[in-house]
Structure 1
Amino acid sequence: MTVAELGTARTSPLRAKRLPTRQGSPQLSWLSTAGMVLGTVGVLALTACSPTPEAKGPYAPELKQARDAASSDFERQVFKDLDISRAEYEEAVKRFVDCVKGKGVTISAVPTDGYYQYDVINNPAVDQDAIQESCGKGTRNLIEPIFVDRLRNPNKEDENELFAKCLIRNGVAPADYNAERARKDRVNGFKGAPYDSSDPRVAHCNANPNT
């Protein structure tokens, strides 16, 4: 699904001209009418037989739940094929940010390892949490969690296992580092971890261990 599919269709500014008709023989008229009927039946048959999209992969349940919970035309269009493209995610973020800004909150979407986090400047004059929740409905609330989870953990593996593998892959942790040690290090705030937790690669693996 593309962003172009999400936009509203434009009608032509030119009016269609009514074409002149001419009388034909009764036989030709009957054949023409029969052809139109058969053509209509064929179209209806094709429509009736069109397969319903099926969600695939580990996140199929979440995609189906989101489709059923969609509250805006935008969300319904996104989940129509039970998938979320990068373009659709980008559009969801844009709609959310534009809505929040329009209600007096200074916000920016910051790219972070394949997805966005949000920087918000405090404004005591407005209820920022309420505004973000209101603007998130129909834009990003259903779309973003699934997109980010699939990006970070496409096969729903153990998060600590992914984190440990990412650290090893990026040359941060020793080769024998494992999920259990990663879990303990995270719980303890990385005290005693066999690497420097201030290394930017640690934050990188935490943000998206699938990279």
Structure 2
Amino acid sequence: MLSVSLGACSSKEASEPRSPYYSDIVTASRTADSDFEREVLSDGEVTRSEYEESVARYVKCANGQGVTINPVKQGDLYTYELGAGASAEKVADECSVGTTQKIEAFYGALVQNPTKGDMMQLIAACLSSSGLAPKGYDKAAFTADSESGSFPFDAEDPRFGECHLDPASH
């Protein structure tokens, strides 16, 4: 007698399409620098809580070596203020390996560019939709303006930085 067992797809697998970064993230898990990083990346996604945990591990690693790292929230991501000390940058670089280095890059891509679109076009569209750049401002104009360093708007305006940090939000 032959018995066949059919596995059912979970409702999540059936209803939610995978991110366009899925295969890149899974591939990165194979070269992970820590068990934590491998575990986070192995399912092909990076959640907010996994990102937060990677930042906490990064800070703890640096603190354990006498270096203070202060995460500063910038949109959905963090920038980092390093404490003083000759070895601070070296410790920060070393501690990022296996904690934030790969995880933060993928989480940033997922929140800043969830469709894996052309970043220059996304930034240009964000600048236009935010009202900073003229209507119809596009990738070609943004590229030319970036190369010349001359924009048809105030590049010191906070919307400029916001569009660079999170172009998908506008």
- The verdict on a shared fold, with TM-score over 0.5 as the criterion, is yes
1:130 pairs with 2:90: yes
* Structure 1 unaligned residues grouped into runs of 5+: 1-44
Amino acid at match of 2:146: R
Q: Which residue of 2 aligns with 1:155?
A: 115
Q: In the TM superposition, what are the counterparts of 1:37-56 in structure 2 within 5 Å?
A: 56=18
Q: In the TM superposition, what are the counterparts of 1:23-172 in structure 2 within 5 Å?
A: 56-124=18-86, 127-172=87-132
Residue 50 of structure 1: how far off its partner (Å): 8.9
1:185 pairs with 2:145: yes
Contact 2:37 2:99 in 1 (8 A): yes
User: In structure 2, how many angstroms separate the alpha carbons of the residues matched to 1:188 and 1:98?
Assistant: 42
SS of 1:111's partner is strand
Larger radius of gyration: 1
Residue 165 of structure 1: how far off its partner (Å): 0.9
Change (3 A) 1:101 1:164: same
User: In structure 2, how many angstroms separate the alpha carbons of the residues matched to 1:97 and 1:69?
Assistant: 22
Identity of aligned residues (%): 35
User: In structure 1, how many angstroms separate the alpha carbons of the residues matched to 2:122 and 2:157?
Assistant: 18
Amino acid at match of 2:102: L
Contact 2:82 2:89 in 1 (8 A): no
* Structure 2 unaligned residues grouped into runs of 5+: none
1:205 pairs with 2:163: yes
Contact 2:69 2:80 in 1 (8 A): yes
User: Number of residue pairs matched?
Assistant: 159
TM-score (norm 2): 0.83
SS of 1:171's partner is coil
TM-score (norm 1): 0.68
User: In structure 1, how many angstroms separate the alpha carbons of the residues matched to 2:161 and 2:44?
Assistant: 31
Change (3 A) 1:139 1:167: same
Superposed CA offset, 1:54-77 (max 9, x none): 993321232122211123222232
Amino acid at match of 1:82: G
Q: Which residue of 2 aligns with 1:195?
A: 153
Residue 161 of structure 1: how far off its partner (Å): 0.9
User: In structure 1, how many angstroms separate the alpha carbons of the residues matched to 2:39 and 2:154?
Assistant: 45
User: In structure 2, how many angstroms separate the alpha carbons of the residues matched to 1:207 and 1:186?
Assistant: 16
